[in-house]
Structure 1
Amino acid sequence: MAPLKPSRVQPQADDTVRIIPQTRPRPSGRLWFAAAGLVVLCLIVGAILLWPRPAPLPVVGESTIFHHVGRHFAVFRFADDRQVLVIDCPDLHAQGLMFDRIAALIEKSDAPKDHVISTAAFRAALVAADLTIGTYYYGDDYPARALRKFFRLAQAEHRHLNPQEQRLHEIAAAAGFLKPGAAGAVISIPQAGAGHRVGLRARAVILRHELSHGAYFTIPAYRAFVHHFYTTALTASEQAAFKNFLVRQGYDGDEHGLIVNETLAYLVFTRDKEFFRAEVVGMSDARVAMLRAEFIAMMPDIWLKPLATAPLPGG
């Protein structure tokens, strides 16, 4: 007998309309990452825009700098040459703490030139020379490349920087002077007044002298002119006399550019007998006056030229 087969039951007709929900595709992981990245980017941009920025440095001229009075370090951009920063120091001691070890590395004859002298060794050198931190220099001037050398060596040698040197690093970095190849210069002057060992007249003389160095560092045409004048206008004996004068003050006589720069800064822009007299280099007043006049007549038409004959600030 053939096996029984299940009977086929016809389903009843059903006119119910059914809506079948569609399955939503899940967002891909890439989309989530993109959204999160956009949020983070917005937060970063917002933080940058809202983060307090340091106020721009005041841009001022020689007279304003001279008349500034303060008990703390003040930094200015020189109005006639904004590549020159002027640091007005509270006194000679504070100025020395900020700049003396740079002076030792870059300019002084009795200090190492391949590494930053330690604080202990520097203090011993001061005692041996019968100097103090405040009398090592009365004003300072350095091109950006000298600052880069000092801070690069200090970092490589793990040399501790005092708070004033750290402040100078911040100032130089903010100005862009620590970037490779950056041009610029930093000069400094001390405040005048009781207890500062610097009177108003001396402050004015130092400022004018240092500004001439600023031009030497930032204006190539002026720097070339200074070297040309030194070579062609001064006799060999006059060059030797100036070099000896500077070496007696502790300058490194092997640094030819330093000697040339300082020679013309003293000869032309230091018109005060407390700081420079013709007889200290074996010259007559008439010879010094003649060289000054020739230099001023021939020098490039730059912002420094009027300062060669202008009265000192403060009268």
Structure 2
Amino acid sequence: MALPKATRRPQILSQDDTIRLAPPAKPRGGLRAWLAAGAVVLFMAIGGTAWFMRHPAPFPLASESTIFHHVSRHFTVFRFADDPLILVVDCPNLHAQGLMFDRIAALIEKADAPKNRVLSAAGFQARLVAADLTIGDYYYGNDYPARALRRFFRLVHAEHLTLNPQERRLRAIAARAGFMTPGANGAVISIPQAGSGHRVDLRARAVILRHELSHGAYYTIPAYHAFVHHFYNTVMTAPERAAFQAFLVRQGYDAGYHGLIVNETLAYLIFTRDKDFFRAGAVGLSRATIAALRSQFVATMPDFWLKPLASAPLPIRG
């Protein structure tokens, strides 16, 4: 789900080479049948766009490049142009982003936080202090399906907890998008602004956005969600799966949430091609193994808007 701070655990990132795409490998596990799913995904993506044209949400459509190059000192919300069910919250800085999303991250994906209740503001702050973290250090990017947001706000209401202003803003954003309606599909992802004084440079902002967009597709497009699980369960070997799970557990992810582990594994493997955030050595696998897995995933994944992003350059000018 969320993308942790790149430098939280430098001992994991000990190798000095980035992951490179190898020539397409012969598919393992009979994935050729998944090629046909591309038409289904494309139909669903077009259908989602058509629905928003008939029921426009109060947020502007924007491409990956437009969102990346947007500069503001305030929260800004976009609908992702290729999949309007994905809302992108562009946050003014890491601290503001953390105030909006950190308690949701604790509830949904952190192994050391309760999963049946929301931490109070004081309880969450105590956990940050114990972990030698700050609100801005907790995560660099966030991503949650609409159902996770509904669960968070439902628990907050049931427990009579107080939302901070940023969390109230997020609830309003989700409500305006229709995500608070029971059964509604959609996803909210977030990225921080970059530049001087933001602790995030432009390349990191681009990497975070690409990573989080892949999560958005996982939440909003059922055929892609099914493909990701099929690849993880039938193509990746047991040692490969164990290596990625160990990597994610070291970052604090809840190993008991299988969907979280699957989702993050493929987001890192395919859509986080930056040595400061992910390297082959981080999971204890060879560069050749990582490259072969990447090549096979890209060659067999459904053909929709996310596929080009698996190999396209990041939208950084100059």
Q: After TM superposition, give the deviation of residue 242 of structure 1 in Å.
A: 0.5
3-state SS of paired residue (1:186): strand
1:228 is matched with 230
Write the letter of the residue equivalent to 1:255: Y
Counterpart AA for 2:120: S
The amino acid across from 2:290 in the alignment is: V
Alignment equivalent of 1:64, drawn from 63, 66, 70? 66
CA distance, structure 1, for counterparts of residue 240 and residue 130 of structure 2: 30
**8 A contact 2:247–2:282 mirrored in 1:** yes
1:197 aligns with 2:199: yes
Alpha carbon RMSD of aligned pairs, Å? 1.1
Distance, in Å, in 1 between the alignment partners of 2:133 and 2:197 is 17
- Report the 3-state secondary structure (helix = DSSP H, G, I; strand = E; otherwise coil) of the residue aligned with 2:191: strand
**What does residue 289 of structure 2 align with?**
287
Structure 1: how far apart are the matches of 2:297 and 2:57?
Answer: 39
Within 5 Å, which residues of 2 pair with 1:205-284? 205-284=207-286
Query: Which residue number in structure 2 is paired with residue 165 of structure 1?
Result: 167
> Runs of 5+ in structure 2 lacking a partner?
1-55
SS of 2:84's partner is strand
Q: Give 3-state SS (helix, strand or coil) of 2:173's partner.
A: helix
Q: CA deviation at 1:56?
A: 2.7
- TM-score, normalised to structure 1, is 0.82
Among 70, 79, 90, which residue is 1:77 paired with?
79
2:89 is paired with a residue whose SS is strand
Q: Deviations over 1:188-227 (max 9, x none)?
A: 0000011111000000000000000000000000000000
The whole-number CA distance in structure 1 between the counterparts of 2:91 and 2:119 is 22
Q: Which one of the candidate residues 167, 178, 181 is aligned to 2:180? A: 178
Partner residue, 2:4: none
> Partner letter of residue 152 of structure 1?
R
Q: Which residue identity lines up with residue 143 of structure 1 in the other structure?
A: P
Q: Distance in 1 between matches of 2:101 and 2:79?
A: 18
Separation of aligned partners in 1, 2:75 and 2:283: 35
Q: Structure 1 residues 305, 136: closer, same or farther in 2, change over 3 A?
A: same
CA deviation after TM superposition for structure 1 residue 145, in Å: 0.2
CA offsets, 1:249-271, max 9 Å, x none?
01000000000000000000000
SS in structure 2 of the partner of residue 204 of structure 1? helix
- Distance in 1, Cα, partners of 2:153 & 2:58: 24
Q: Which amino acid aligns with 1:171?
A: I
Aligned to 2:85, the other structure's residue is in SS state strand
Using the aligned pairs only, state the percent identity.
Answer: 76
Q: Deviations over 1:263-304 (max 9, x none)?
A: 000000000010000011111111111111100010011110
**Residue type of the partner of 1:178?**
M
Q: Which amino acid aligns with 2:82?
A: D
Structure 2 residue matching 1:314: 3-state secondary structure: coil
| C-alpha distance after superposition, 1:147-172 (max 9, x if no partner) | 00000010111110000000000000
Runs of 4+ in 1 over 4 A off after TM superposition: none
CA contact (8 A) 2:57 2:176 kept: no
Residues 58 and 177 of structure 2 are in contact (CA less than 8 Å); yes or no, is this contact kept in structure 1? no
Aligned partners of 2:239 and 2:129: how far apart in 1?
Answer: 33
Q: How does 1:37-56 map to 2 (within 5 A)?
A: 56=58
For 1:240 and 1:227, the matched residues in 2 are separated by 15
What letter corresponds to residue 307 of structure 2 in structure 1? Answer: K
Residue 301 (structure 2) pairs with residue 299 (structure 1): yes
Distance 2:161 2:119 in 1: 9
Greater RCO structure (CA 8 Å; 6+ sep): 2
Give the C-alpha shift of residue 55 in structure 1.
Answer: 8.5
TM-score (norm 2): 0.81
Q: Distance in 1 between matches of 2:304 and 2:133?
A: 37
Q: Give 1:9's aligned residue.
A: none
State the one-letter code of the partner of 1:179: T
